[in-house]
Structure 1
């Protein structure tokens, strides 16, 4: 019997709603497999916790998360608590302290869905973006001076290290190699950002020499954004800095059906620390409590979690079950053209999981 431990942070808004469905799916997976179990522990760290305690998590929060195999996050953010507090005091400390330097986001049009790009088919929209997750443009370097005066200023420093660039670029090449992909595209803006981006480009070129069978291309972020729409079929693996990867993956989610379908993994590849899996749709306070949030991004994130744990057959089982329900087209949440509730869609996927795996 294999035992996996998961720290659960349901979070804010629709986070608890989609997490409830995700935890039900985990139990179903354990029922089907018989040889694995999941021990979960929930932590009430969210914006309400901040309002009550003046911080997003307790002082020993990271120490409490450290022993777990993985972390499941629902969503963070609520009106009245600035994003730079909710994100910078919870999500980013977890990513950085646990060296989750890979943010992995598949851009894949699921079977049963149609892309807003009507002229693109499923085979055209199936690639992955690898986003550097611990430095770059989101480095906590800088500050404000002369606050409240007419000559107030703000300085935000981007931090790019050789170590950080090398490990994310090499991970991306290894991912391409392991999955049989032949193309790697690196996002850049070296024609406008004249120090960090040429540095990034140089390291991409250096490492590419170790992978002669993989076609490597450096593409400016503005053109790359356009190509995500006009020719997404030209991509296999895309590697990008923290900011560029963040923007590209929201665009990627839009062209495959929306943020409610978009999963992600914050990965520590060496497994020295827990990795964290989360949907990228955010807390969506406008629909919170209505029971209509799409749980697919959370369930797909759990599929990615299973892959990370080495349970790839189970990860595939989850994704195949999601696609089966979408192909049938009978149970869908409003964001993808249906009237089903969060729970109803989750139950339909679980039922298909039992059919396939039972």
Structure 2
């Protein structure tokens, strides 16, 4: 029996609601596989914790987390605490301290759903974005001067290092090698940002020389955003810096049905530290407590977790279960045009996973993962 330790941080807003459904899926995976077990510890680190203790997590919070295999994260953010505090004191320290330098975000239109791009189908919308996750525009470099005067100013530096750029590009290229199109698209803006972005472009060419069999294209970010809409079928793996990747993946989520369908993995590929899996929809305080949040993104993040733990067969089973429920169309949350609640959607996905696991081809896959 292989045991994996999971640190669970439900967080704020709808985070606890969607986390509950993802834990049901993990329990189902245990039952189906038979040879794995997940142990959980839950931490109440969120904005309520901040209001009580003056910090988003204990002083030794990172030390507490470092020995877990993975982290399952719900959401962070509440109107009672400024966003720059909740984000910068919880999720960003985890990403940086644990070298989760890959933010992996699939852009995939599930069967049964229609894209807002009316002329694009499921085959056209199936690619993945690799976002650099530890430096770039989200680096805590800069400051403010002359506060509360007419001369007040603020500086935020965009930090790009050779080390950070090389490792994210190598990851993106290796991922492209595993996919059918063998194509890598790189986001840049070197025509206007003349120091960091030209440096980034140079490193792209240097790293790309090691992968001559991969079709590589560099696009300026404004053109790339337009091409997401105009010709998404041309993409396979897209890689960009922290800010560009963040914006592109929210755009991608809108293209395939909304943020309730958008999972992510904050990954340390070397597994020297725990990786963290979350939905990208945020805490959605406007619907928190109503029981109508879509749990698909959080459950899909569990599929990414299985891939990371070396069990892609189980990852596929979870994703196929999600897609079957969506395709059947009987159970949908309000954001997908239905009236099902969070719990009902989660239960439907669990039932479908169990149903699929009994089928011959899935049974063979599961046995192969032992």
* 1:66-145 aligned within 5 A: 66-145=66-145
Structure 2: distance between partners of 1:181 and 1:283: 35
TM-score normalised by the chain length of structure 2: 0.96
- Report if the CA contact (8 A) 2:12-2:75 is conserved: yes
1:86-105 Cα shifts (integer Å, max 9, x gaps) = 00000000000000000000
What's 2:54 paired with? 54
Structure 1: distance between partners of 2:128 and 2:28: 28
Structure 2: distance between partners of 1:67 and 1:180: 36
Structure 2: distance between partners of 1:99 and 1:79: 29
Structure 1: distance between partners of 2:179 and 2:63: 35
What's 1:330 paired with? 330
Structure 2: distance between partners of 1:333 and 1:189: 38
Deviation at 1:327, TM superposition (A): 1.0
Structure 2: distance between partners of 1:127 and 1:179: 9
Structure 2: distance between partners of 1:169 and 1:132: 9
What's 1:20 paired with? 20
Structure 1: distance between partners of 2:242 and 2:276: 16
Structure 1: distance between partners of 2:82 and 2:251: 23
The alignment status of 1:339 with 2:339, answered yes or no, reads yes
Structure 2: distance between partners of 1:75 and 1:200: 31
Structure 1: distance between partners of 2:21 and 2:95: 24
**Consecutive aligned runs of 4 or more in structure 1 exceeding 4 Å deviation:** none
Secondary structure of the 2:123 match is: helix
Deviation at 1:178, TM superposition (A): 2.2
Structure 2: distance between partners of 1:150 and 1:53: 35
Secondary structure of the 1:122 match is: coil
Aligned residues: 358
Deviation at 1:111, TM superposition (A): 1.1
Secondary structure of the 2:7 match is: strand
Structure 1: distance between partners of 2:157 and 2:325: 46
Deviation at 1:179, TM superposition (A): 2.6
1:230-284 Cα shifts (integer Å, max 9, x gaps) = 1000101100000000000000000000000000000000000000000000000
Structure 2: distance between partners of 1:314 and 1:326: 19
Structure 2: distance between partners of 1:335 and 1:227: 26
1:188-247 Cα shifts (integer Å, max 9, x gaps) = 000110000000001101111111111111100000000000100010110000000000
What's 1:219 paired with? 219
Structure 2: distance between partners of 1:29 and 1:211: 36
1:282-339 Cα shifts (integer Å, max 9, x gaps) = 0000000000000000000000000000011110000000011111100000000100
Deviation at 1:32, TM superposition (A): 1.0
Structure 1: distance between partners of 2:84 and 2:153: 18
1:55-87 Cα shifts (integer Å, max 9, x gaps) = 000000000000100000000000021111000
What's 1:253 paired with? 253
User: Which consecutive residues of structure 2, in runs of 5 or more, have no partner in the other structure?
Assistant: 359-370
1:148-202 Cα shifts (integer Å, max 9, x gaps) = 1111111111110000000001110011012343211100000110000000001
The alignment status of 1:266 with 2:259, answered yes or no, reads no
Secondary structure of the 1:289 match is: coil
* 1:258-297 aligned within 5 A: 258-297=258-297
What's 2:190 paired with? 190
What's 1:181 paired with? 181
The alignment status of 1:300 with 2:295, answered yes or no, reads no
What's 1:148 paired with? 148
Secondary structure of the 1:124 match is: coil
User: RMSD of the TM alignment (CA)?
Assistant: 0.6
Structure 1: distance between partners of 2:35 and 2:114: 37
